[in-house]
Amino acid sequence: MTLAAAITGVGMSDIGRKTNRPAMLHLAEAARRALDCAGLSRDDIDGISTYPGKADNSPGMSPLGTGEVRGALGLKTRWHSAVPDGPSQMAPIQVAAMAVATGQARHILCFRALTESSSQTATRRASIPGAGRARLGGWYSYLVPAHAMSASNWAGWMAQRYFHEFGMTREHLGLVATGQRAFAQQNPSAVMRTPLTMEEYLGARMISSPLGLFDCDVPIDGACVVIVSAADAAKDCARSPLSIEAMGAALGSQETWDQRSDLTTMGAHDSAADMWKRTDLKPADVDVLGLYDGFSIFVPLWLEAMGFCGHGEAKDFIAEGNIGPGGRFPVNTGGGQLSGGRLHGFGLLHEVCTQLWGQAGARQVDGASVGACGMGGGFIAGSMLLRRD
Amino acid sequence: MRPLPELTAENTAFWTGGAEGTLMIAFCSDCAHAIHPPQLVCPTCWSEGVEFRSVPGTGTVYTYTVNHQSWMPDMPVPFALAVVELDGAPGVRVTAEVVNADPESVAIGQKMKVGFLNIDDVWFPQWEPAQ
């Protein structure tokens, strides 16, 4: 049952490391490209949506809010929203879909901007919640002060438990990292494009066992814009609308990274299961996937969450070549965040849309018409199914 | 410098129990549900009768990681972080650094006992091998 909402345009700035380019310039570039993609003008945009809103919780994590972007781009909006507490980094897309489906707006500019690469310092590392603050509250006050400071620690202990239960090894995660790097070599926009061998992957320094350097995504500076349009308005755009077939936002976990009863599963499992209840499509109908890869271990967990293989089967599914170049279910074909850079899920959705429009160049998946996207790790998750009719 | 938790009505007993050498966990006085992280309301029965009780301070490693990256200038590495299922508090795990052990020796299923690191007004639980 398709929602009355579609993605009609995507745009990404020239992302990079240490660009020292202000976030707003990245955002303006991404917005320009998204409008060009959709065949829309600035005055067609009547809504704006982001995650999480302007925030300085960790350096460069979210330098722009909806107000500044409205002002900078001269938008006159009928509807706006910034959601720090929704279904993952996908929240602004899901909320925008509901807004256009209920007539709040016609074309919504959804954005994500980050300057984590330029903003981090020795004392304030990127993605360390509350870094540099004296006292912490909330769920991460039980982790960060205990020196479980980084999401690589949290993902690391999930991976360790998964390895223990199902016999996964670093080589399996190495197939995720090297496979995505092979995709990135076919994507001129990816930040990491030099070849990555299994030997180099295994030889890289350990970050938080069993996760090494190439199991972690890359902080970047950049912005991405996704235009969500009402179904009837989408017909006026330049490209075939990508209908939002179904979305999932269910959460079964406590809001933290160590208490979920089975840490070989994530919030992803809750949100994906709920998504499939809302559609007649099945995993076998999916042609291309964008799965959150803040850490490599999230990819097998998302594959299982989405039902592409059973619980504990992802290591074999990956080893059989299903998700890399030429695979039946190609994942993160732009290189993902591991090789393309951390745009907090927006980059993964950008790539799925690019594939569904047949614009992915050398890495194009032939005839891709249905895409699945899952964002978030740990307790945070949002799932979406897109189709080009 | 290690960031410290903000002490609140919900969590002060957890963070200061170490002053008496005890690990304090929140329990519902009506349905006996163990609540962690601590909350003011029982998530099972919505009772506001939440009280802290001392638990034995022992448990079993559910999972762990060895951290090799120094996230702050004064952070010595490597060290192990253990996610430990507590004895006497069903369903509750406490994540803490492992001390007095080779980080590479930590294993799933290992028995641990708690100790405390005092900084200012906070007593951090730390795990060490029980044997």
Task: Evaluate whether residue B3 is within a structural domain.
Answer: no
Burial bucket for residue B82 (CB in 10 Å: 0-12, 13-18, 19+): buried
Task: Evaluate whether residue B76 is within a structural domain.
Answer: yes
Contacts of A373 (CB under 8 A, 6+ apart): A90, A289, A290, A291, A345, A348, A349, A352, A383, A384, A385, A386
Nearest chain A CA: its distance from B18 CA (Å)? 14
Scanning A250-309 for CB atoms below 8 A from B yields: 256, 258-259, 261, 263
Quick one: CA torsion of B71, A129, B85, B100, rounded to 10 degrees? 20
pLDDT the model gives residue A214 = 98
What phi and psi values does residue A289 have, to the nearest 5 degrees? -130, 145
Q: How many CB atoms lie within 10 A of CB B36?
A: 20
**In 3D, which of B44, B92, B93, B40 has the Cα closest to residue B64?**
B93
Task: Evaluate whether residue B22 is within a structural domain.
Answer: yes
Strands B122-129 and A5-12: unpaired
Predicted confidence (pLDDT) at residue A127 exceeds the cutoff of 80: no
pLDDT the model gives residue A133 = 65
Of A31-45, A55-69, A373-387, B10-24, where does mean pLDDT reach its minimum?
A: A55-69
Predicted confidence (pLDDT) at residue A126 exceeds the cutoff of 80: no
| A142–B37 CB contact, under 8 Å | yes
Reported confidence tier of residue B129, pLDDT bands at 50, 70, 90: very high
Provide the CA B31 distance to its chain's centre, in angstroms: 22
Domains, chain A, with CATH or none: 5-121+150-388 (3.40.47.10)
pLDDT the model gives residue A131 = 60
Predicted confidence (pLDDT) at residue A344 exceeds the cutoff of 80: yes
In whole angstroms, what is the distance from residue A300 CA to residue A319 CA? 11
Q: How many CB atoms lie within 10 A of CB B111?
A: 14
**Three-state DSSP state, A214:** helix
Contacts of A194 (CB under 8 A, 6+ apart): none
Distance between start and end Cα atoms, chain A: 13
Contacts of A262 (CB under 8 A, 6+ apart): none
Of A123, A135, A146, the CB nearest to B124: A146
Q: How many CB atoms lie within 10 A of CB B95?
A: 26
pLDDT the model gives residue A62 = 92
DSSP calls for B23-35? EEEEEETTT--EE
Q: What is the mean pLDDT of residues B25-33?
A: 98
Q: Is B91 on the interface with A (CB under 8 A)?
A: yes
Q: Is B56 on the interface with A (CB under 8 A)?
A: no
| A157–B65 CB contact, under 8 Å | yes
Residues B122 and B92: beta-carbon distance below 8 Å: no
Q: Is the dihedral of CA A158, A317, A382, A213 positive or negative?
A: positive
Q: Is B75 on the interface with A (CB under 8 A)?
A: yes
Task: Evaluate whether residue B2 is within a structural domain.
Answer: no
DSSP state, A54?
S
Reported confidence tier of residue A120, pLDDT bands at 50, 70, 90: confident
Task: Evaluate whether residue B109 is within a structural domain.
Answer: yes
Residues A373 and A384: beta-carbon distance below 8 Å: yes
In whole angstroms, what is the distance from residue A38 CA to residue A113 CA? 20
| CB contacts, 8 Å: A120 with chain B | none
What phi and psi values does residue A42 have, to the nearest 5 degrees? -55, -40
> Considering its fold, how many domains does chain B have in total?
1
| CB contacts, 8 Å: A161 with chain B | 62-63, 108
Residues A130 and A144: beta-carbon distance below 8 Å: yes
Nearest chain B CA: its distance from A134 CA (Å)? 5
Tens-digit pLDDT profile for residues A87-105: 999 999 999 999 999 999 9
pLDDT the model gives residue B77 = 97
DSSP calls for A276-292? HTT-S--GGG--EEEE-
Tens-digit pLDDT profile for residues A203-245: 999 999 999 999 999 999 999 999 999 999 999 999 999 999 9
In whole angstroms, what is the distance from residue A351 CA to residue A357 CA? 10
Question: A195-220 burial, b if ≥16 CB within 10 A, otherwise e?
Answer: ebeeebbeebebbbbbbbbbbbbbbb
Reported confidence tier of residue A124, pLDDT bands at 50, 70, 90: confident
Residues A197 and A347: beta-carbon distance below 8 Å: no
Nearest chain B CA: its distance from A130 CA (Å)? 8
Of A124-128, A159-163, A355-359, B92-96, where does mean pLDDT reach its minimum?
A: A124-128
Residue B43's alpha-carbon distances to A153, B15, B46, B47, B49, in angstroms, are: 27, 21, 6, 8, 11
Mutate to test the interface with B, among A157, A162, A163, A206 (most CBs of B within 10 A): A157
In whole angstroms, what is the distance from residue A288 CA to residue A373 CA? 9
Burial bucket for residue A71 (CB in 10 Å: 0-12, 13-18, 19+): exposed
Q: Which domain holds residue B19?
A: 12-118
Mean pLDDT of all residues belonging to chain A: 95
Reported confidence tier of residue A56, pLDDT bands at 50, 70, 90: confident
| B108–A130 CB contact, under 8 Å | no
Tens-digit pLDDT profile for residues A251-268: 988 999 999 999 999 999
Q: How many CB atoms lie within 10 A of CB B21?
A: 12
Task: Evaluate whether residue B34 is within a structural domain.
Answer: yes
Tell me what ipTM this predicted complex has: 0.97
In whole angstroms, what is the distance from residue B69 CA to residue A213 CA? 10
Of B4, B63, B91, the CB nearest to A145: B4
User: Is-above-0.95 flag for pTM?
Assistant: yes
pLDDT the model gives residue A121 = 74
Scanning A114-153 for CB atoms below 8 A from B yields: 122-123, 125, 128, 130-131, 133-137, 139, 141-150, 152-153
In whole angstroms, what is the distance from residue A292 CA to residue A213 CA? 17
In whole angstroms, what is the distance from residue A304 CA to residue A295 CA? 16
Percentage of chain A beyond pLDDT 70 is: 98
| A160–B65 CB contact, under 8 Å | yes
Q: What is the mean pLDDT of residues A176-186?
A: 98
Nearest chain A CA: its distance from B82 CA (Å)? 8
Of B68, B69, B81, the CB nearest to A157: B81
Tens-digit pLDDT profile for residues A58-83: 889 999 999 999 999 999 999 999 99
pLDDT the model gives residue A119 = 86
Which residues is A288 bridged to in the sheet?
A371
Task: Evaluate whether residue B131 is within a structural domain.
Answer: no
Nearest chain A CA: its distance from B58 CA (Å)? 17
Q: Is A78 on the interface with B (CB under 8 A)?
A: no
Percentage of chain A beyond pLDDT 90 is: 92
Reported confidence tier of residue A128, pLDDT bands at 50, 70, 90: confident
Predicted confidence (pLDDT) at residue A282 exceeds the cutoff of 70: yes
| A209–B8 CB contact, under 8 Å | no
In whole angstroms, what is the distance from residue A282 CA to residue A371 CA? 11
Task: Evaluate whether residue B1 is within a structural domain.
Answer: no
pLDDT the model gives residue B1 = 76
